[in-house]
Amino acid sequence: MDPLDIMSNLDKVHPFYQAIFSADEQKVIGFEILGRTTLNGEVESLGPFFHDPGIPEDYKIEVDDLILSKGLNFLLKNTDESVLIFLNRDADLLMLDHGESFFQLLSEFEQNGLNLSRIVLEITEHNFRGDLDQLYHLLVYYRTYGIKVAVDNIGKDSSNLDRIGLLSPDILKIDLHPLRMTSPSQSYHDVLYSISLLARKIGATLLYEDIEVNFQLQYAWKNGGRYFQGFYLHEPSPELIHNDALKDRLEGEFHQFITHEKRKLELFYKRSEQFNQKVLQSLRNNKQVSDFNELIVQLAEKLTDCCFRVYICNEEGVQQTGNIFKNEDNWVFQPEYYLKNWSWRPYFLENIIRMRNDKKGFFSDLYSDIETGEVIRTFSYPIDEKHYLFIDLPYSYLYEQDGLL
Could you tell me the domains of the chain?
3-234 (3.20.20.450), 261-400 (3.30.450.20)
pLDDT digits (tens, 9 = 90+) for 176-223: 887 776 666 667 777 788 888 888 888 999 999 999 999 999 999 999
pLDDT at 32: 98
Long-range pairs for 54-62: beta carbons < 8 A, 24 or more residues apart: 55/3, 56/3, 57/93, 57/96, 59/3, 59/6, 59/7, 60/90, 60/93, 61/93, 61/96, 61/101, 62/7, 62/10
Residue 9's identity, in one-letter code, is N
- What are 2-38's pLDDT values in tens digits? 889 899 999 999 999 999 999 999 999 999 999 999 9
Which residue type is seen at 44? E
Q: How far apart are CA 343 and CA 319, in angstroms?
A: 10
Q: Which of 7, 149, 11 is nearest to 87 (CA)?
A: 149
**The pTM is what?**
0.87
What is the tens place of the pLDDT at every residue in 339-374? 999 999 888 999 999 999 999 999 999 888 989 989
Asked whether the predicted pLDDT for residue 77 surpasses 70, the reply is yes
Q: Which residues pair with 332 in a beta bridge?
A: 325
